[in-house]
Amino acid sequence: MSTEVEVATTGIKVELPKAYDDIKDLIRIDRLPHIWCPGCGLGILLKLLARAIKNSGIPIEKHVIVTGIGCTGRIGGYLRLDAYHVTHGRAIPFAVGLKMANPELEVTVVGGDGDILAIGGNHFIHAARRNDDINVIIVNNFIYGMTGGQYSPTTPKGAKTTTSPYGHFENPFNVPLLAYAAGASYVARWSVLHQNELYQSLLEMFRVKGFAVIEVLSPCIIYTDRNAMGDAVDFMKVIKERSTIDHNANLADIDIDFSMKKIVLGNFVKRERPVSYG
Amino acid sequence: MALIQQDEAWFMRRLVNLHKMKRPVGKILVNPDLCKDCRFCIEFCPNNVLEESKDVNFKGYHYPVVKPGKELDCVACRMCEKICPEFAITIISEEYITYDKYYGVSRHAHGG
Amino acid sequence: MPTVAELYKKDLDKLLKPGIHFLDGNTATAEGAVTAGCRFYAGYPITPSNEIAEYMSYRLPQVGGKFIQMEDEIASIAAVLGASAAGVKSMTATSGPGFSLMQENIGLGSMLEIPAVIVDVMRAGPSTGIPTLLGQGDILQAKYGSHGDYEIVAYLPANPQEAFDFTIKAFNTAEKYRVVAVVLSDQLVGHMYGKVRVPEFDEIEIVERPKPTVPPDQYLPYDSKYLVPPMAIAGTGYRVNNESLTHTDKGYPTTDKDASFKLVMRLVRKIRENEKEIAEWEEYLLDDAEYVIVSYGSTSGSVRRAIKVLRTQGYRVGLLRPKTAWPFPGWVVENLASRGVQKFITVEVNMGKMYHVVREFSRGVPVEHIPYAPGYIPDPDYVMSNVKKVIEG
Ligand SMILES: Cc1ncc(C[n+]2csc(CCOP(=O)(O)OP(=O)(O)O)c2C)c(N)n1
Ligand code: SF4
Ligand code: SF4
Ligand code: SF4
């Protein structure tokens, strides 16, 4: 049975197809269609995350989503869970507070590359260092989407953005290497095209005790537009053609440069490290 | 060259037990109002089943429809469903089709 | 209203015992918090508030609470809000520079309506200022420091006893109205030793946040039918969206005119409509006063002494000491103005902060400020000579 709900903003009736019966309880159907652009990868992550939460074996009411500001930060608002949409960059410390106050909660932070690694960068490395028992999904779309396409800490050198019109002069973060070096227990990188792998990785993240990081590569049409990379479809095709899976990759070696010639994906790190306040 | 070889292979199989071999045939459900015309489903369908509609939805987006003549080509792999960021396209996989029927219809469609 | 005796039955032997103690202001603040039920502390070291964090790191584990030293003050207040969202009374303590860093998330606490307590042990500014010495320059920042419209509550302790009492009050008000409550202590109050009487546990009333009484499917997180909607705790099955964007009653982001205005109205109304209940102040020799000195915190001690002497010299001066900076007891100033007071004189360690607030309510009666910001409170002589100058014109 599918549920039909009238959307408050548009007045149209939206029905969640039968194929989503398993997660219909987890999606705020009355808020669809969501705000993301055509071709944005966030909608795909939303579905996968809902399924992973559903099948995590952890009671749904114990799952808490904390997000900062950005397109990615909107994901919590579409999940029928305890969700906290907090200030830009501050999702991780808010999540740390939640988890410390009630260790029974399964707290997951979802944020953009700017949200987690620029304004929230300090919180990210310190939570990894402490190995706080929370999950962090970093949606890397190589740009600040929400504010209209400025460069972010993952924008590759050379890329054009609204604030790097001559091509970006800076070097980007290598996210898995950073997470590993800072102390995360679990580090993976997937893309929204790698549905099955990403889904398994999300499930693994819920099982891991300690700081779990998944970098999710996702198309943003603001980025592809600026850089004459075609549209989201073309970006997805690049990921499809150029990505290789290597779970044992040398993390120092997996930067993604502007050419995107080499995209290494995998479940890179899983290690036992004492958890703070565990 | 390659195409001919493949055709021959199919031909061989057709000769053997076409009426016994079956595969799922998907029913494609699209909710036009949820679609934003990102074309993921169209581009990543392994069988090239879909194309853009002539019509637009209430937001002005084209949405996927089945290409004429491809009505039986969906193999219910669900790639379109999985890759759709919008909950807009889903597949019902309840029916099966035997290859003799499939090719029969197929030939008819192309020959007509 | 429940009391400490009822609520924390099994912890009573671990709390600071009723009776007389000799404590510094910062320790009194920390003990006040523990007595009020605070079980989570997140902070970042900064003088002159450090004793609070150090004491909490030792004290909280004894009562089953948790302490964490975060990477900065922004993280500290964020963690405090997170812990409170999970149902645990939480606090942080800081001083000027850290308080400035917390401002954005004070707005977050106000928007998500998460009870939290911040102790700001004020020091001399601006910028890094004089870390070890006092200032009273954060008064306006406490209320207006974050962007947009919201209301907070702020207490102004003047001695260790009040540091203890007002911290309990701050927790109670934060919980009752689901707001951020600030204890605006200062370096002198924080480091001053004094007598602290802990009341009997059945005399200390404790307020807890309103809890939902309806099942999850009927619950609205920001139900505008209430001034202070019941608060669902994370993990209890209510599964609501707690939204920092302007939101509807349901917690969904909105740009709708009516919904936006309704929300902001409620966020300020919950304090403004209860200001008479929340605001506290002390009146000293005001009955026949022609000149009213407005002063607060540690400075008020020096002013009190000055008034005593001035009275012996025939000056009809009195003291109005707000115990809450916010809500400010403006009607008390109004009543004094209507009664025919000649002048209001503000004495605070800054270049004029509460001065502006008094002017707002003084109904045309002149208000003069005695500027003083060298890192110390003015001594009684300084107050006396300057007050005389103001009176004699
Ligand atoms: C303190 C603060 N600074 C800046 C902003 C403006 N802002 C909103 S979203 C954003 C960046 C979003 O980029 P990212 O985190 O990569 O997420 P995306 O939108 O790409 O998913 C910025 C700078 C803000 N909301 N708050
Ligand atoms: S701007 Fe980019 S990240 Fe934001 S919704 Fe659009 S495609 Fe997605
Ligand atoms: S299920 Fe597979 S074959 Fe069928 S339309 Fe979707 S992608 Fe194409
Ligand atoms: S993938 Fe979904 S949103 Fe994109 S075109 Fe297909 S149906 Fe529409």
Does position B14 have pLDDT exceeding 90, yes or no?
Answer: no
Residues in A touching B50 (Cβ below 8 Å): none
**Burial of C345 per CB tally in 10 Å (0-12, 13-18, 19+):** buried
Say if C116 falls within a structural domain: yes
Q: Which of B29, B38, B92 sits opposite A39 (nearest CB)?
A: B38
Q: Contact B85/A236, CB-based, under 8 Å? A: no
Residue C230 tokens, joined: 């019941």
pLDDT tens digits, residue range B35-94?
999 999 999 999 999 999 999 999 999 999 999 999 999 999 999 999 999 999 999 999
Q: Is the CB of B61 under 6 A from ligand 4?
A: no
Of all protein residues, the one whose alpha carbon is nearest to atom 1 of ligand 4 is: B84
Q: Contact A43/B87, CB-based, under 8 Å? A: yes
Q: How far is CA C299 from CA C29, C50, C103, C305, C373, in A?
A: 19, 22, 25, 10, 11
Say if A276 falls within a structural domain: no
Q: What is the pLDDT of residue A231?
A: 93
A64: closest CA among A43, A20, A94? A94
Q: Is the CB of A153 under 6 A from ligand 1?
A: no
Identify whether residues C188 and C306 lie together within a single domain.
no
pLDDT tens digits, residue range A223-264?
998 888 899 999 999 999 999 999 999 999 999 999 999 999
C32-42 as b/e: b if 16+ CB within 10 A:
bbbbbbbbbbb
How large a percentage of chain A has pLDDT more than 90? 90
Last residue of a domain, one of C198, C213, C244: C198
B41: closest CA among B10, B64, B57? B64
What stretch of H or E contains C257? helix C257-272
- Between CA A42 and CA B87 the distance in angstroms is 12
Q: Is the peptide bond before C327 cis (omega within 30 degrees of 0)?
A: yes
Chain C nearest-CA distance from A250, in A, is 29
B6-25 as b/e: b if 16+ CB within 10 A:
eeeeeeeeeeeebeeeeebb
Does position A162 have pLDDT exceeding 60, yes or no?
Answer: yes
- Between CA C121 and CA B49 the distance in angstroms is 69
Polymer length in residues for chain C: 393
Q: Which amino acid is at A109?
A: V
* Residues A211, A184 contacting (CB under 8 angstroms): yes
* Residues C68, A127 contacting (CB under 8 angstroms): no
Residues of B with CB under 8 A from a CB of A: 29, 31, 33-34, 36-40, 43-44, 58-59, 61, 81-87, 90-92
Last residue of a domain, one of C150, C174, C198: C198
Q: Which of C40, C239, C245 sits opposite A82 (nearest CB)?
A: C239
Does position A21 have pLDDT exceeding 70, yes or no?
Answer: yes
Say if C233 falls within a structural domain: no
CATH number at residue C180: 3.40.50.970
How many angstroms from the chain centroid is the CA of residue A93? 17
CA angle (C316, C321, C322) in 5-degree steps: 145
Q: What is the pLDDT of residue B110?
A: 44
- Between CA C43 and CA C29 the distance in angstroms is 14
Identify whether residues C19 and C161 lie together within a single domain.
yes
Quote ipTM for the complex: 0.97
Say if C117 falls within a structural domain: yes
Does position B19 have pLDDT exceeding 90, yes or no?
Answer: no
Say if A149 falls within a structural domain: yes
Domain count for chain A: 1
* Residues A128, A195 contacting (CB under 8 angstroms): no
Say if A241 falls within a structural domain: yes
Q: Provide the domain limits for residue B93.
A: 21-111
How many Cβ atoms are within 10 Å of C346's Cβ, its own excluded? 25
- Between CA A123 and CA A130 the distance in angstroms is 10
Say if C60 falls within a structural domain: yes
- Between CA A163 and CA A207 the distance in angstroms is 40
Identify whether residues C135 and C25 lie together within a single domain.
yes
SS3 C175: helix
Which ligand has the shortest distance to the CA of B85?
4
Say if B2 falls within a structural domain: no
Q: Phi first, then psi: what are they for C92, rounded to 5°?
A: -140, 165
CATH number at residue C363: 3.40.50.920
Q: Which amino acid is at C179?
A: V
pLDDT tens digits, residue range A64-74?
999 999 999 99
Interface test with A, best of B42, B79, B86 (most A CBs within 10 A): B86
Residue B50 tokens, joined: 């879909």
Beta strand C291-295 with C317-322: parallel, antiparallel or unpaired?
Answer: parallel
* Residues A24, A175 contacting (CB under 8 angstroms): no
Domain count for chain C: 2
DSSP 8-state class, residue C292: E
Say if C220 falls within a structural domain: no
Does position B13 have pLDDT exceeding 80, yes or no?
Answer: no
Return left, alpha or beta for A259; rule: phi > 0 is left, psi -120 to 50 is alpha, else beta.
alpha
Which of A66, A85, A87, A115 best tests ligand 1's pocket when mutated (most atoms within 8 Å of CB)?
A115
Q: What is the pLDDT of residue B12?
A: 56
- Between CA A143 and CA A152 the distance in angstroms is 5
Residues in A touching B76 (Cβ below 8 Å): none
Q: Which amino acid is at C27?
A: T
- Between CA A225 and CA A234 the distance in angstroms is 11
Residue with token string 């109670």: C172
C93: closest CA among C125, C131, C61, C55? C55
Q: Give the residues across from A270 on adjacent strands.
A: A186
Identify whether residues C55 and C191 lie together within a single domain.
yes
Q: Provide the domain limits for residue C291.
A: 280-392
Q: Contact B33/A12, CB-based, under 8 Å? A: yes
Which band of pLDDT confidence, cut at 50, 70 and 90, is reported for residue B7?
Answer: low
Helical H segments across A139-192, by residue range: 175-182
Which residues have a Cβ under 8 Å from the Cβ of B12 and sit 6 or more positions away? Answer: none
Q: Which amino acid is at C269?
A: R
Crossing angle between the packed helical segments A175-182 and A121-130, to the nearest 10 degrees? 50
Residue C325 tokens, joined: 């900076």
Residue C346 tokens, joined: 């503000």
**What pTM value is reported for the model?**
0.96
Does position B112 have pLDDT exceeding 50, yes or no?
Answer: no
Last residue of a domain, one of C166, C198, C230: C198
Q: How far is CA A43 from CA A190, A246, C280, in A?
A: 15, 26, 52
Domain count for chain B: 1
Polymer length in residues for chain B: 112
* Residues B29, B80 contacting (CB under 8 angstroms): no
Say if A4 falls within a structural domain: no
Helical H segments across A184-277, by residue range: 195-207, 221-226, 232-242
Say if C212 falls within a structural domain: no
DSSP 8-state class, residue C273: T
Identify whether residues C60 and C168 lie together within a single domain.
yes
Ordered DSSP codes for C56-84: HHHHGGGGT-EEEE-SSHHHHHHHHHHHH
Chain A nearest-CA distance from B23, in A, is 20
Say if B1 falls within a structural domain: no
Q: Is the CB of A45 under 6 A from ligand 2?
A: no
How many angstroms from the chain centroid is the CA of residue B15? 24
A146: closest CA among A222, A228, A230? A222
Q: How far, in Å, from the CA of B47 to the mean position of ligand 1? A: 39
pLDDT tens digits, residue range A74-99?
999 999 999 999 999 999 999 999 99
Residue A16 forms contact with B (CB below 8 Å): yes
CATH number at residue B58: 3.30.70.20
Interface test with A, best of B33, B62, B87 (most A CBs within 10 A): B87
- Between CA C348 and CA C383 the distance in angstroms is 10
Residue A96 tokens, joined: 């740390």
Q: Contact B87/A12, CB-based, under 8 Å? A: no
Question: How does pLDDT run along chain C (393 residues), one tens digit per residue?
Answer: 899 999 999 989 999 999 999 999 999 999 999 999 999 999 999 999 999 999 999 999 999 999 999 999 999 999 999 999 999 999 999 999 999 999 999 999 999 999 999 999 999 999 999 999 999 999 999 999 999 999 999 999 999 999 999 999 999 999 999 999 999 999 999 999 999 999 999 999 999 999 999 999 999 999 999 999 999 999 999 999 999 999 999 999 999 999 999 999 999 999 999 999 999 999 999 999 999 999 999 999 999 999 999 999 999 999 999 999 999 999 999 999 999 999 999 999 999 999 999 999 999 999 999 999 999 999 999 999 999 999 998
Q: Provide the domain limits for residue A208.
A: 12-270
Say if C170 falls within a structural domain: yes
